[in-house]
Amino acid sequence: MIFEDMRRIINFHKVKDIKWFENVICLLKSKYTFVNENQLIRYYYNKEPLSRNSCMITVDDGDMTSYTIIYPILKKYHVPAIFFVSPEKMMQKGEHRNFWFQEARHCDDSNALMEKIHSGNYPIDDIWEIIDSYQQEHHIEILPNQNMTLKEVREIDSEGLVAIGAHTMDHPFLARETDSRSKYEIEESVKELENLLGHPILSFAYPNGTPTTDFGKREMETVSRTTCKVAFSTEAKKFSRKDDVYSIPRFGLSTGSPLFIHIKLMLGSHYATVKKVLKNLRSSQHVSKSFIKKILLELFGDRHFTLCFPPCLLGGRCRCIQSAQCHHSVGIRFSYMAVL
Ligand SMILES: [Zn+2]
């Protein structure tokens, strides 16, 4: 059954719209109890209880909007968080080096370059080679600094509301790297951050973050040998004491209205199932009644529910679902919301 346990760890990246972020934080504040890094560590290690609606905010990469948009809103509403940064990407003494994905998106806004890199199983040195030659071939200058400066990270760290965690040096897909490079990326980022901030680093987030595909046992063991007590993936499910402390799941949020975000978080790991149903609806593939029953049972257990299915959804002759104006497809969405 869903909705029994609403513990969620949320993962943001770059945020472009301050109003959107403020609305999301206000929504979360009205539904959840925020916890900080220390409370989460005590929950896993000391069995300290956390309420059923606990929520933790995390932000990856340390993009400059972490300082200009995210941090001011967190401060305004007193919301704790962890920011995961790379010590190599924080501008120091006027010099900077952006993340590979920032340069790749800048090179080619059609996303083809990003897709090539994602699908090619390339280690980080090859990724940089691909980007460098693309930039040279197309006479593209490297981007100005995109990330927080060391001064800004130190300021956030010293104020105590937001903890700073490590996120490797160069943001590779760790599982694609050699043993020594994988070890270096993790250990060096933790050590270097500790040197820069003057205290132990307690949290780590795997770049890209999908278990098995992006990191595995090897990486989890390396993190466990550092000062880090917890490490986070991007596996979208609720967190609980059953988690391995070096692979704690998180839900990614990047767009959508507060209502959409609320529904997404409530559905938790079932969101993927509902998305599949809605995708079938949009692509006008008819969904069988038994399939819908199966999905609903998966979502709601044997709890009674009332839903009105439009005839087109049940394989009837109606083809109006192909139209953007289709009131039937709107009808099914409202039906889902009524249940929620
Ligand atoms: Zn990242």
CA of 338 to the centre of ligand 1 (A): 36
CA of 208 to the centre of ligand 1 (A): 6
CA of 318 to the centre of ligand 1 (A): 45
Q: Nearest CA to 165 among 281, 49, 253, 250?
A: 250
Question: Where are the chain's structural domains?
Answer: 8-94+145-252, 100-137, 258-338
CA of 322 to the centre of ligand 1 (A): 38
Secondary element (H or E) of residue 34: strand 33-34
State residue 258's pLDDT score.
Answer: 78
State residue 335's pLDDT score.
Answer: 40
Mean pLDDT, consecutive 10-residue stretches, the chain (340 aa), reads 72 95 93 96 95 95 97 98 97 87 90 88 95 92 94 97 98 97 98 97 97 96 98 94 96 84 78 72 59 62 48 44 40 37
Q: Are 153 and 198 in contact (CB under 8 A)?
A: no
State residue 135's pLDDT score.
Answer: 92
- Third-level CATH fold of 8-94+145-252: TIM Barrel (3.20.20)
Task: Give every CB contact of residue 334 below 8 A, 6+ residues apart in sequence.
Answer: none
Q: Nearest CA to 32 among 206, 258, 203?
A: 258
State residue 296's pLDDT score.
Answer: 62
Pair of tokens at residue 252: 């990614």
